[in-house]
A and B are shown apart, each in its own frame.
Chain A
Amino acid sequence: MTVTSAPGQANTPTGAAKFSVRELDFYYGDFHALTGITIDVAENAVTAFIGPSGCGKSTFLRCLNRMNDLIPGARIDGEIMLDGADIYGQGVDPVDLRRRVGMIFQQPNPFPMSIYDNVAFGPRLHGIKKKDELDQIVEQALVRANLWKEVRDIMDRGGLTLSGGQQQRLCIARVLAVQPDVLLMDEPCSAIDPTSVQKVEDLMAELKSSVTVIIVTHNMQQAARVSDETAFFLQEMQGKPSELIEFGRTAEIFTSPHDRRTEDYITGRFG
């Protein structure tokens, strides 16, 4: 257990910190979206970001692999360290960062190409060309994403012909194929059917032995089921930046939250 003495008193109840974020502020142009975020995200665990709509949890997630760089006018203050190195530091190429910090989106987004080519896309991008090597990576990634059995005989079929839940697992396989350290999941289950939700949740539990998983979710039951730690975000007033209200072990957050606002949210008094 690590207890940091940095401002904001972030603590990491389990394991070593993968991400260490200090006093992060985020702006979209003139709009101040996040303020004073300080958090240590544990390695090889599942961390859930919860909070009502518009509380900045997805925005924060997208700071962690610099996807916000794609938005004109986006700007951060503060520090985000991944394995001790500043990801916004000089000489850091966001393209390399995103290979290490993979991302799954709310809407399953297979590319309009075959299942095989979807999974092989990342490895090919990074220079792997040999057929047998690619075959092996693709199979491994699909096995890890619990999709291999369903698609092994239809690898040439279009990725978009799969069901929504299968598409989401295909997207997970596609990310796993580039061997990321971290998997960011932005409401990965909100657009898929309940059976697939179950499969994706099981998957998170299996993956965390090798990958640090961070999931943004609207669904508190899901956060309680899948995560080891939970962070609660809130925008207290319209027009004011969102803050990290409470962060701790999931069991603790859900049974005995320290902050009144966390308790109100979890018991369904708002949001």
Chain B
Amino acid sequence: MSKRWANRIALGVLWLCGLTTVVVLGAVIVYVFVRGIGQITPEFVFTKPQGVNAEGGIGPTIVATIYVTGLSMLITTPIAVLAAVYLAEYAVQGKLVNAIRFAADTLAGVPSIVMGLFGFAFFVDAIGLGFSVLSGALALSFLTLPIIMRATEEAIRAVPRFIRWGSYGLGASKWQTVSKIVLPAALPRILTGIILAMGRAVGETAVVIFTMGQAVYMPITPLDSGRSMTVHLYTLAMEGINMDAAYGTALLLMAMILFFNLSTRWLAARNRRLKG
């Protein structure tokens, strides 16, 4: 076989593989869009479910999803960011720090249904928070903590050494350097990590079904139960009671996650512009 042919075949295979990923992604989006778009009306988005919770709108589930995700981010972000600052800037690099990193990576790999089960046993049952937005948010935090922590650590490490030296050279203390130079410089990448974690939390089903419950009314306090969009979608589809509403919910969910991903790209682009 000639070199020229080998080259053509290699190119063809690579092209085909590339095309496959695009086609699969495109097919999912198009299918959900076509099946779901007819459902998207103001009534569907803003009103509450009717009948056996399969008719009417999905308003409370959207609120519950945003509520539990937002609350979870409020809990996770400060802890994850400060832990990452400690690991990257202060901790003596060695066995202990590597063990913490390994633990974080392992935590990120725990199946979410296991997290859900743990969340149920610990927050719902043992601590007695019941099926609630707060239980859901705390359990989700286990999932998002390692994502934000590792993203922040990478972001901090990516800040060039000589920028820190500039700050030390002016008589800045370590904390002044970290808080005024390193963290602001790392902020766009930290935000990217936070947004990716939010996408993960919004799309999570197993954790919230175990911890937030399935009540379809509007959650008001953090101790109210609620049904996330994913759980609602699961119920609608598994019981086969209203597939159209399931696709409508799926479409909104995908739009939310797409919005998060686009925000990270926008942040990255803005960051490049600022740096000139």
Contacts and interface: CB of A to CB of B under 8 A. Distances in A.
B181 interface: yes
Contact of B169 (A110, A112, A158, A175): A175
A67 B169 contact: yes
B28 interface: no
A164 to B, nearest CB: 12
Given A67-B165, A103-B165, A121-B180, A112 B170 contact: no
Contacts of B169: 65, 67, 98, 102-105, 175
B121 interface: no
B170 A98 contact: yes
Interface stretch (B111-119, B128-136, B171-179, B254-262): B171-179
A103 B164 CA distance: 12
B162 interface: yes
B263 interface: no
Contacts, number: 70
Nearest to B273: A158
Nearest to A111: B181
Interface in B251-276: 274-276
Interface in A90-141: 95-100, 102-105, 107, 109-113, 121-122, 125-126
B38 interface: no
B166 A98 contact: no
Given A158-B274, A158-B275, A109 B171 contact: no
B240 interface: no
Contacts of B276: 158, 160-161
Interface in B122-175: 160, 162-163, 165-173
Nearest to B271: A112
A158 B272 CA distance: 12
Contact of B160 (A67, A102, A109, A158): A109
Q: Is the interface of B mostly helix, strand, loop or mixed?
A: helix
Interface residues of A, number: 30
Nearest to A65: B169
A270 B166 CA distance: 33
A218 interface: no
B184 interface: yes
B176 A111 contact: no
Contact of A122 (B163, B165, B170): B170
Nearest to A162: B276
Interface string A65-104: 1010010000000000000000000000001111110111
Nearest to A125: B172
A25 to B, nearest CB: 24
A203 B180 CA distance: 29
B166 A171 contact: yes
A41 interface: no
Given A67-B165, A111-B163, A102 B170 contact: yes
A22 interface: no
Q: Which of B163, B166, B170, B185 has the most CB of A within 10 A?
A: B170
A174 interface: yes
A178 interface: yes
A65 B88 CA distance: 24
A106 B185 CA distance: 20
Nearest to A178: B170
A121 B170 contact: yes
A112 B185 contact: yes
B163 A95 contact: no
Contact of A95 (B160, B166, B172, B184): B172
Contact of A111 (B166, B168, B171, B173): B166
A160 B163 contact: no
Given A111-B181, A158-B276, A160-B275, A175 B170 contact: yes
Interface in A184-219: none
B157 to A, nearest CB: 16
Contacts of A161: 276
Interface string A146-180: 00000000000010110000000001001100100
A67 B171 CA distance: 10
Contact of B165 (A109, A158, A174): A109
B162 A105 contact: yes
26 contacts: A67-B165, A95-B171, A95-B172, A96-B171, A99-B170, A99-B171, A100-B171, A103-B165, A105-B162, A105-B169, A107-B162, A109-B165, A111-B163, A111-B166, A112-B274, A121-B167, A121-B180, A122-B170, A122-B171, A125-B172, A125-B176, A158-B274, A158-B276, A175-B170, A178-B170, A178-B171
Q: What 5 pairs between A and B have smallest CB-CB spacing?
A: A99-B171, A161-B276, A103-B169, A122-B170, A109-B166
Given A105-B165, A125-B176, 14 more contacts: A67-B165, A67-B168, A70-B168, A105-B166, A105-B169, A109-B166, A111-B166, A112-B184, A112-B275, A113-B184, A121-B170, A158-B276, A160-B274, A178-B171
